[in-house]
Structure 1
Amino acid sequence: MSGSVRVRVLSADEVKASIEALVDILIDCVEGGAAISFMLPISRHKAIEFWERAANHVACGERVLLIAEDLDGRVVGTVQLITAFPENQPQRADVSKMLVRRDARRQGVAASLLAAVEDVAREAEKSVLVLDTATGSDAERLYERAGWQRVGEIPDCGYTPDGKLCGTTFFHKRLSPGEVQTGFTP
């Protein structure tokens, strides 16, 4: 699917217009066991509130939200770049909430989103990216393949949606300034 997925940055208004699709992705991922800050059962109301807050953060310039769409225009994935940091960290950004619908996984969607969010970070003159993921998740392998450096693990740092303790693994990546790597244009 990576050749047939389009990744693009959304404005705050576009996030608001896409909330139903984003809610569907969030609920699908949580129901699939993704340890992304939510517990089961997750309500549509709670998911809507999450995306409304994200839209507000986009409007304030505190984050960038990207989506991946398939050839039919269906939103199949999303990722965020958090850019709001203290003045002594202007070079830093966090990659957050990488979500891919279960029926679109293992088709290059996450890799496309990751490459695009790295390009957006370069465009924003960010040179150090940080992220965390559930220890032992498929995402760990994705980040390692994409050149991210494992920093370490905190055991029992959070819970899976069904209430089991899980570890969190932290990664970082230094970005080289210059041209974007994927040809992605924000």
Structure 2
Amino acid sequence: MTNPTISIVVLSPSDIETHLADLTRVIRDSVLDGAAISFMATLTDAEAQRFWNDDVRSGLEFGSRLLFGALVDGRLVGTVQLVVGMPPNQPHRAETSKMVVHPESRRLGLGKALMTAALEAAERSNKTLVTLDTRTGDVAGALYRSVGFEKAGVIPDFAYDPDGQARHATTYMYRYL
């Protein structure tokens, strides 16, 4: 078995169309696997495509967010977003969003590589603080701690799990650059 070729890239608005099938698959399959990333298990391909084409693309075009993609042998299998367009009283801060790696591509170091790329971009954008939130108790918490994030606090009953059966707490985290 050969080692896969892994690369982390910054995706442009036009790259969303190029990778739309993979973007849709990554988010849909991750939600079906239980990922708490704002969507419910009933997520359709059309809804996922609307998210990428409308919500994410507009942020990229406006310059308020960056989208990083993890490619394995040229196929997109993971993403993270860095929101850099913050309110006027928070020009020093950025926020990561929708850190997700397809279930079949986990344990390759892609999450850490994506987060590292986002943090480096935040620093280049003169940000000094990066924040995020994650479902309390998720394995992602260890990833975020491994790249220097610290726990700020927990909000109980923050959101429903993708299956809609139970609500979970969310942990807010931060990292100084």
Q: TM (normalized to structure 1)?
A: 0.90
Task: Describe the superposition over 1:71-98 as per-residue Cα deviations: whole angstroms up to 9, x where unpaired.
Answer: x201111000011111221111100000
In the alignment, the residues of structure 2 paired with residue 143 and residue 98 of structure 1 have an alpha-carbon distance, to the nearest angstrom, of 10
What residue in structure 1 maps to residue 58 of structure 2?
56
Once the two structures are TM-superposed, the CA of residue 16 in structure 1 deviates from its matched residue by 2.6
The alignment of Structure 1 onto Structure 2 pairs a total of residues equal to 173
Q: How does 1:9-20 map to 2 (within 5 A)?
A: 9-20=10-21
What residue in structure 1 maps to residue 103 of structure 2?
102
1:119 aligns with 2:120: yes
Q: For structure 2, list consecutive stretches of 5 or more residues without a partner in the other structure.
A: none
In the alignment, the residues of structure 1 paired with residue 87 and residue 147 of structure 2 have an alpha-carbon distance, to the nearest angstrom, of 27
In the alignment, the residues of structure 2 paired with residue 140 and residue 4 of structure 1 have an alpha-carbon distance, to the nearest angstrom, of 26
In the alignment, the residues of structure 2 paired with residue 82 and residue 24 of structure 1 have an alpha-carbon distance, to the nearest angstrom, of 22
What residue in structure 1 maps to residue 171 of structure 2?
169
User: Contact 1:156 / 1:167 at 8 angstroms: preserved in 2?
Assistant: yes
User: Contact 1:65 / 1:80 at 8 angstroms: preserved in 2?
Assistant: yes
Task: Describe the superposition over 1:146-165 as per-residue Cα deviations: whole angstroms up to 9, x where unpaired.
Answer: 11110011111001100121
User: Contact 1:135 / 1:153 at 8 angstroms: preserved in 2?
Assistant: yes
The alignment-based identity, stated in percent, is 38
SS of 1:8's partner is strand
In the alignment, the residues of structure 2 paired with residue 124 and residue 153 of structure 1 have an alpha-carbon distance, to the nearest angstrom, of 28
SS of 2:96's partner is strand
Displaced runs of 4+ in structure 1, greater than 4 A? none
Q: How does 1:3-152 map to 2 (within 5 A)?
A: 4-52=5-53, 53-70=55-72, 72-152=73-153
Q: CA RMSD in A?
A: 1.3
Once the two structures are TM-superposed, the CA of residue 3 in structure 1 deviates from its matched residue by 8.2
In the alignment, the residues of structure 2 paired with residue 169 and residue 117 of structure 1 have an alpha-carbon distance, to the nearest angstrom, of 19
